[in-house]
Each structure stands twice: as structure tokens, then as C-alpha cells.
Structure 1
Amino acid sequence: MLTLSDSHKIQYGNHPSQYGVLRAPSHQRNSPVIVSIHGGFWRQKYDLDENTPLTIDLTERGYATWNIEYRRTDEIETWKDTCEDVIDAINHLDTLQDEYSLDLSRVILIGHSAGGHLALWAASCIDMSNAEYKKRLITPIKGVVSLAGVADLGKMWTIHTKNNTDSPVSTFVGGTPKEVPDDYHSASPIEQLPLNVKQVLIHGKLDQHVPVDVSIGYHDKASSVDEDIELIILPEAEHFKIVNPDTDEWQTVVEAIQKL
């Protein structure tokens, strides 16, 4: 394992939640970069500390990690604020490149749960030809690893309501699919396909928070439009096992990153 440098908390915007924590291997130049996006259904009580263990593990493996925070539902006016924070955070890597010796030709996005939603959505901002409402992702990316990602907001809302559960999707998007259909279309990764970037979806079959059907449906549609995409279903994994570096399942994530 490589020795880690100190972690650096860096603001990419003026709001207290617009920051990231950068880690890079010590005595290594031109490190590839993993942008880490945490989950928690976009709610303020969850933060980037959820992904700290995995970013430490990845930095020990030779990657620089940019673990980003973003404004969540109690801090925003619309869902676009959250999504644009993620774009701004990724683009901010350009200002960090020289000081921290980052190789921006090798950037991968990795997101868990709602972070998977944000990673996939951010990737859709590379091609802006049909998306006037989006902010452009300037930093090139090699691919996206979605870990139990909320890739289909409409399906996730339906799952919650069928279980008689208040859906955090409604809170994030600003209403139900019937009330704000255009917002669901604009905010949901499945509606942005094709992304024209490599994607790996990793999902536990035992996941009760984001059922595996969400990734299966997204994969099926992505495959139908010839996306370069792989779906890996882990039979013994639930929602959090795939982001725990102490599990065997985590090795599957590491291997997916290495392939990208």
C-alpha cells in the first residue's frame, strides 16, 4: 500500500456544503482521480463521511480521491441546485490539477445510492446538444461506477409508494411524477440515455433500500441504445456491503474501477 498524503478540505463554491475532501498518494505524480459521491437520498443528515473509508482505501491503492459534498434537500430551491453542485465540484478539479499532481485524463465517477444517481446524471452533462437546462461537465471522464444507484427516479418513487413509504424522491424533485413530470424526465438518469460513456452498475441482490430492479431496468434501456455498460449483481450483498472496504464485495468495485 502507498502512503497517503494529508486530506485537504477544499471549497468549490461559497455555500458551506460546497466543498470536497481531496486525498492523494504521497510521492506519486499524475495520479488518476476517483470522484466519490455519497448517498442518503439527497437528505442533509447524510454527508460525505459515508464515503471516507472507501476513499482512504482507494488512495492507498494509488488513486487520488475527491470526495465531494453538495447541497441537499434542506439547502436547495430545486433539484437542479444539487445536480449543478456536483458538476461544479467535478469541474473544480481543473484548478487543483497542478498543485496536487492530478491526471485529469483518467477521471472516474463513483457514486453510491443517490450518489449513483448524481454520478450518472453528471455524466449526461458531457454532451449538451439537447439539454439547455444543464451545466456543462468540462472535466473529461473515463467512466462511471454506480453502486446501487438510483438510476430511475420514477421507478424509485413507485417502489416507495407501493411500500406505503414517504418518498424522498418527491422531496428532492419537488412533487410526484404526475405533478412534475418534466422534472422527473430532466432529473432522472434513465431519461438521459444514451450517455455515451462507459458505465458499470454494481448492485446487491439483497438490497432493500434501492432494489436491484432499478439497475436492471436502467441496464436494459441503456443496452437497447448501444451504451457501453455492464451490470454486476452480487448475490449476497445488501445496500451497504458494496461500499465497505472490509468486504469481499468491495474487491468487485475495485476491479471495475481498474477496468475503466
Structure 2
Amino acid sequence: MDFFQSKFLYGKKQSQFGIFRMPRNTTNCPVVVTIHGGFWKAEYGLEEIVPLDEDLVRRGYATWNVEYRRIGENGGGWPGTFSDVIDAVNYLAFLKEDFPLDLSRVVILGHSAGGHLALWLASRWNTKQADQMENVLHTSIKAIISLAGVSNLEEMWRIESKGKTSNNVSSFLGGTPEEASDRYHLASPYELLPLHVRQILVHGGSDQEVPLDLTLGYYKKAIRLADDVGLISDSRSDHFDLIDPFSSIWLSSADSLKNIINS
């Protein structure tokens, strides 16, 4: 495959970097920012989503696969992880100085915990203010594609609390919904609806990691609030089929992405 690939640092911390890929001999190239999952934990990195990035480059997109501080790293969780993804997306302005990117066509695609961060970023584009994040998202977002995204943090906290000794959501936000209610409100896409950004929600019915009901509840609320949202689901697909470039549900996601970019 003929494409350019390089690592760039968007900050000074170890995990504040991304891998940029772009087809060669292209102009006005749309960009897909990809955010990996792994329940925000440091043992999971951006390698997970590389196959999708390579498939997206073959389809004619530039990709910016971003790493970020996670649970287990100094500064990971609230609010460091959130600040990192804002800074990573804003770094596209610097990449544009050297590469022919079309920043009017930026789509954020995230898987699992990365889907949560992708949806949350859409809320930052609407607010245009720093509040507790201390930095502002300056890059416009054309659409969000959430692949089994953790769209409702309080509900995910409840699910994880059943019969488990640890809770990823509590670790991520620094407390339970009762202990850190303000954080849950500011960090959970479900609480921030409507986002007023085009959203495609993709979820498999056989997902054992993030239940389909989480996305269905988010989708119903978004529709009720007249948000611009679409749903792709397949009863046979599991959590990881969504990031398999050869799966049928990914092909449906890629078709939706193409329609968004060309609209």
C-alpha cells in the first residue's frame, strides 16, 4: 500500500502522541481521527485499531490514530484523558501545515471507550468553552462514528458493579456516581444530548463487553431530542467485529462514513 506514515507528538507526556497516515498523491484529503478502546486502561494501546486505519487509508482518507493518558498512568482519567483527546484533535491544524488535509471534513471514530471519547468530543465542539477542561476544541467535527461506544457512564457503572470487585468507570472518573456526580454529568455523552453533530452508532447484538442496550438507550434519547443520529446493528456481531476491516458490520460503517464525507 502506497501511503505516508509517521509518529507525531501532540504533547510532552509519554502517551501524548499519534500515528498519522495519508495516501500519497492526494489533495484536499478528508481526515478520520481514530480513538482506540480498552476501558481507558493503560494496558491497551492504539495498536488495536491499526487495521481499521490501514483500511481507511486504502479508501482515500487520512487517519490520525491518537494515543492518550489512561488509567494507570500519571494524569490518566479525569481530567487528563479528556484534555488529551482535545489536544490531539486540535493538533490537526499543525499537520495541515505540511499535508493537504481538508479540515472541513473531519470525522471522529472511536471504539468502545474510544467511542465514549468520540461522542464526548462532539459535545466540546458545541460548547466552545473550556470550563473544567481548561482547553477548547478548535477543530470542527463533521460527524462521529461510535463503534460500541460507552455512551452512558452511569449505566455502565451499574453494569460493572454487578458481581465485580473493580469498576473501570469509577477508576476513570475517580468515584461512583454519588461521589462524583458532577464528573458523570460532564463526562457522559448521554447526559450531554443533544450534541447537534451527526452521529452514527454502531453496535453488535452479540457484544459481551458493552451491552447493545447501552447504545439503544442513547439512540432513543437522541431521537427524542431531535439529534442527528443513525444506528447500525447486527445481531451476529460481537465487540471486536466492529474493528475487523473484513466484517460485514464494518463494511456498513465504511459506507456510512463515505456518505457523510461526500455530503
State how 1:203-214 maps to structure 2 within 5 Å. 203-214=203-214
Counterpart residue identity of residue 116, structure 2: H
Aligned CA RMSD, in angstroms, stands at 1.4
Query: Would you say the 8 A contact 1:116–1:146 is kept in 2?
Result: yes
Aligned residues: 258
2:257 aligned residue: 257
State how 1:58-207 maps to structure 2 within 5 Å. 58-75=56-73, 76=75, 78-128=77-127, 132-134=131-133, 135-164=135-164, 166-207=166-207
Counterpart residue identity of residue 66, structure 2: I
Q: TM-score, normalised by structure 2?
A: 0.95
Bigger shift: residues 192-201 or 125-134: 125-134
Describe the SS at the equivalent of 1:146.
strand
Cα deviation for residue 146 of structure 1 reads 0.2
Query: Would you say the 8 A contact 1:112–1:146 is kept in 2?
Result: yes
2:222 aligned residue: 222
Q: TM-score, normalised by structure 1?
A: 0.96
Cα deviation for residue 247 of structure 1 reads 1.5
Counterpart residue identity of residue 42, structure 1: W
Cα deviation for residue 77 of structure 1 reads 5.7
Cα deviation for residue 165 of structure 1 reads 5.1
Query: Would you say the 8 A contact 2:128–2:136 is kept in 1?
Result: no
Cα deviation for residue 39 of structure 1 reads 0.2
Unaligned runs of 5+ in 2: none
Describe the SS at the equivalent of 1:100.
coil
Counterpart residue identity of residue 118, structure 1: L
Query: Would you say the 8 A contact 2:128–2:137 is kept in 1?
Result: no
Alpha-carbon distance in structure 2 between the residues aligned to 1:45 and 1:91: 25
Cα deviation for residue 98 of structure 1 reads 3.0
Cα deviation for residue 163 of structure 1 reads 4.0
Counterpart residue identity of residue 84, structure 1: S
Alpha-carbon distance in structure 1 between the residues aligned to 2:11 and 2:169: 25
Describe the SS at the equivalent of 1:127.
helix
Counterpart residue identity of residue 204, structure 2: G
Describe the SS at the equivalent of 1:79.
coil
Bigger shift: residues 243-252 or 16-25: 243-252
Cα deviation for residue 23 of structure 1 reads 0.3
Counterpart residue identity of residue 212, structure 1: L
Describe the SS at the equivalent of 2:23.
coil
1:43 aligned residue: 41
Query: Would you say the 8 A contact 2:69–2:77 is kept in 1?
Result: no
Alpha-carbon distance in structure 2 between the residues aligned to 1:98 and 1:4: 21
Bigger shift: residues 58-67 or 120-129: 120-129
1:23 aligned residue: 21
Alpha-carbon distance in structure 2 between the residues aligned to 1:175 and 1:217: 23
Alpha-carbon distance in structure 2 between the residues aligned to 1:108 and 1:165: 37
Counterpart residue identity of residue 99, structure 1: D
Describe the SS at the equivalent of 1:65.
strand
Cα deviation for residue 100 of structure 1 reads 1.5
Unaligned runs of 5+ in 1: none
